[in-house]
Amino acid sequence: MSGLAENLSVHMNSPTFAIVAGEASGDTLGADLMCALKRLFPNARFEGIGGPKMIAEGFVSFYPMDRLSVMGFVEPLKRLPELLSIRRDIINRCKQSKPAAFIGIDSPDFNLGIEKALHNSGIKTVHYVSPSVWAWRQGRIKGIKRCVDLMLTLLPFEKAFYQQHAVPVAFVGHPLAGQIPRTPDSNGARQQLGLDIDRPLLCIMPGSRGGEVALMGELFLMVARRLLESNPQLQFVIPAANGDRHRQLTEILAEHPQLPVTLIEQQSLLAMEAADAVLLASGTTALEAMLLKKPMVVSYKLGKWTYKLVRPFIKTPFASIPNLLAAEMVVPELIQDEATVDSLSAAVSNALDVNARHLVEQRFEELYEQINLPSGDTAAAAIKKLLCL
């Protein structure tokens, strides 16, 4: 065996994987991926930036993961010097240690810069969880192509997009499919939340950010008032994303004292599991509702001028993941000017209809099968294939 081949063999028998995860969802994906990689490479080492789940699997984190968890516009600007310093340090560490691969989990604004530098220095780079480049600002694909040796996508239509642009890609399935109960227990969820099991229930989810709740909260409650007029037995549950949203929604609800609304903090999956249907602002919530087999109405509004600015960059025919997966309008989407009290009330009323629910549940079961893969094992196998090329 030549010296080069021998070194490569040793490297592959006990590889080091550098991983950066910037938030809780990435920590969950990272821990799952580590377990799968250890089955393929029993002597593997893992280092970089990760959270408690990854650390419990033997990960060495050079920085606390929460140092990367910044939101909004002001906080990232304040923290920019620190974030740039952390990124430079990770790049330098990787250039010195030369891991078998660098794996950036989500957090594209932070990870793609690392991936570009390491890719240019000859280190294999993997990005796990595609940015929404297929949906808007598709020109970003050129930059991604210069950064990554392998893109791991959670959804099948994302894989097709990367293939169209000649970016190496593997579809690994969505981990939520394995985390959400395949047969929801609506009565059990209602009992946990103290809700009446004999009355119809609508879950209202106006978003997780303050701006979203400001735009969608009042509209959704006006829809609730309209629905209550035609169905006095209807009850409502609203899961606030956090304490700030709980306070914001409490203020909005004070203007609607006649509505039978149960406001809770977090527990969004339990609230959706309890419901007969969901009225939601577009986002990951739509995927969660689909996996729970819940009929839904998807709506979203932006500020008038913001919408005019971003609309030309949106390239996808649908806003919600269920419709993107199905490549057809499975659930109603009422966006911007179409999001009126009349149109939303009619759509939600139909979603609450028992016969309509059965048809949607069957379609959602088919979509569930599309994304129900062992994500960690599938991702690990794709990484092994990359390293063996």
- Strand, coil or helix: what is 78? helix
pLDDT in tens, 104-123: 998 888 999 999 999 999 99
Helix axes 354-371, 284-291, angle to 10 degrees: 110
Q: Name the strand (E) or helix (H) holding 363.
A: helix 354-371
pLDDT in tens, 135-194: 555 567 888 999 999 999 999 989 988 999 899 999 999 988 988 888 899 999 999 999
Compute the distance between CA of residue 200 and CA of residue 197 in angstroms, rounded to an integer. Answer: 8
- Strand, coil or helix: what is 134? helix
User: Residues 84, 85, 86, 88: is their CA dihedral positive or negative?
Assistant: positive
**What is the model's pLDDT at position 268?**
93
Highest mean pLDDT among 21-25, 178-182, 185-189, 298-302: 185-189
Looking at the predicted structure, is the pLDDT value of residue 73 above 50? Answer: no
Mean pLDDT for 56-70 is 88
Please choose, from the candidates 23, 13, 18, the residue with its C-alpha nearest in 3D space to the C-alpha of residue 65.
Answer: 23
Q: What are phi and psi of 260, to 5 degrees?
A: -80, 75
Looking at the predicted structure, is the pLDDT value of residue 130 above 70? Answer: yes
* pTM, full prediction: 0.81
β-strand partners of 17? 46, 101
Task: Output 143 or 45, whichever has higher pLDDT.
Answer: 45
Please choose, from the candidates 24, 34, 22, 124, the residue with its C-alpha nearest in 3D space to the C-alpha of residue 377.
Answer: 34
Compute the distance between CA of residue 152 and CA of residue 127 in angstroms, rounded to an integer. Answer: 6
- Strand, coil or helix: what is 364? helix
pLDDT in tens, 185-229: 999 999 999 999 999 999 999 988 888 898 899 999 999 999 999
Using CA atoms, how far residue 6 sits from 13, 46, 362, in Å, is: 11, 22, 54
Mean pLDDT for 295-309 is 72
**What is the model's pLDDT at position 206?**
93
CB 330 within 8 A of CB 359: no
Residue 370 CB neighbour total at 10 angstroms: 16
Q: How confident is the model at residue 4 (pLDDT cuts 50, 70, 90)?
A: very low
What is the number of alpha carbons within 13 Å of residue 164 lying toward its C-beta? 10
Q: How confident is the model at residue 77 (pLDDT cuts 50, 70, 90)?
A: low
CA 20 vs. chain centroid, Å, equals 17
Please choose, from the candidates 97, 12, 118, the residue with its C-alpha nearest in 3D space to the C-alpha of residue 47.
Answer: 97
Please choose, from the candidates 140, 152, 148, the residue with its C-alpha nearest in 3D space to the C-alpha of residue 120.
Answer: 148
Highest mean pLDDT among 187-201, 311-325, 375-389: 187-201
**What is the model's pLDDT at position 362?**
86
**What is the model's pLDDT at position 104?**
97
Write down the mean pLDDT value for the chain: 88
Mean pLDDT for 26-31 is 92
DSSP 62-78: EEEGGGG---TTHHHHH
Compute the distance between CA of residue 165 and CA of residue 139 in angstroms, rounded to an integer. Answer: 11
The length of the chain is: 389
Could you give the angle at the alpha carbon of 56 between the alpha carbons of 55 and 58, nearest 5°? 65
- Strand, coil or helix: what is 128? strand
Q: What is the gyration radius of the CA atoms in the chain, in angstroms?
A: 23
Helix axes 210-230, 341-351, angle to 10 degrees: 70
* Amino acid, res. 193: L
Mean pLDDT for 216-244 is 95
What is the number of alpha carbons within 13 Å of residue 130 lying toward its C-beta? 31
**What is the model's pLDDT at position 320?**
86
**What is the model's pLDDT at position 3?**
41
